[in-house]
């Protein structure tokens, strides 16, 4: 009888250990969520072809649903959004509360959206650097460029740097 009691306790202990492991594993699986998908509205200079290329690159991440519109007065739109003079490019995107100006890499946009810095209004890649997303060159040339963060008062700071090969 003592042997049966011993066997019963061992069986119960094994069952408890197994159920704890299974419960913990199920809890981890339940916590894993699909990545968030963000809605992005892109306003562009009418007829600009590189804007389509940039939006296609952003969409390939699977993290953005993009709507593109031709803006009749893009400079005025940029001013209303608080894009500082000198940071302009051919398109301006809005994602949530943030402005994305120009050929900003998707990884930088996602970092902004995940970190959500309160003091930042948006990020920009001024001009159209060769090799930035949507500005790829047939010869593979890539200019070094900086993604710049800006706030509503027009203060600027570096957000990220991207190396070139020229």
Give per-residue pLDDT as tens, 146-155: 999 999 999 9
Domain of residue 134, CATH code = 3.40.30
Tell me what pLDDT residue 4 has: 53
Tell me what pLDDT residue 21 has: 47
The predicted model scores a pTM of: 0.80
Q: Report the alpha-carbon distance of residue 6 to residue 134 in Å, rounded.
A: 70
Higher pLDDT, 113 or 33: 113
β-pairing, 64-70 with 156-162? unpaired
Q: Would you give the distance in Å from CA 133 to the centre of its chain?
A: 13
**2 and 69 housed in the same domain:** no
Q: Tell me the three state secondary structure of residue 117.
A: coil
**13 and 89 housed in the same domain:** no
**151 and 71 housed in the same domain:** yes
Higher pLDDT, 162 or 10: 162
Please write the tens of the pLDDT for every residue from 79-138: 999 999 999 999 999 999 999 999 999 999 999 999 999 899 999 999 999 999 999 999
Residue 143 burial (CB count, 10 A) = 17
Label residue 27 by pLDDT band (50, 70, 90). Answer: low
Label residue 46 by pLDDT band (50, 70, 90). Answer: confident
**25 and 66 housed in the same domain:** no
**152 and 123 housed in the same domain:** yes
Q: Report the alpha-carbon distance of residue 72 to residue 75 in Å, rounded.
A: 9
> How many structural domains comprise the chain?
2
Q: Which domain holds residue 146?
A: 38-162
């Amino acid at each position: 009888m003592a042997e049966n009691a011993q066997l019963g306790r061992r069986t119960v202990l094994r069952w408890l250990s197994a159920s704890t492991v299974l419960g913990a594993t199920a809890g981890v699986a339940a916590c894993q969520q699909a990545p968030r998908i963000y809605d992005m509205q892109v306003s562009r200079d009418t007829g600009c072809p590189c804007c389509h290329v940039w939006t296609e690159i952003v969409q390939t991440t699977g993290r953005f649903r993009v709507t593109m519109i031709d803006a009749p007065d893009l400079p005025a739109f940029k001013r209303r959004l608080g894009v500082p003079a000198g940071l302009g490019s051919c398109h301006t995107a809005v994602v949530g509360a943030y402005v994305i100006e120009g050929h900003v890499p998707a990884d930088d946009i996602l970092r902004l959206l995940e970190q959500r810095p309160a003091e930042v209004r948006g990020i920009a890649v001024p001009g159209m650097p060769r090799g930035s997303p949507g500005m790829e060159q047939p010869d593979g040339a890539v200019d070094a460029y900086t993604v710049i963060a800006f706030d509503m008062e027009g203060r600027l700071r570096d957000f990220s740097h991207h190396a070139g090969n020229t």
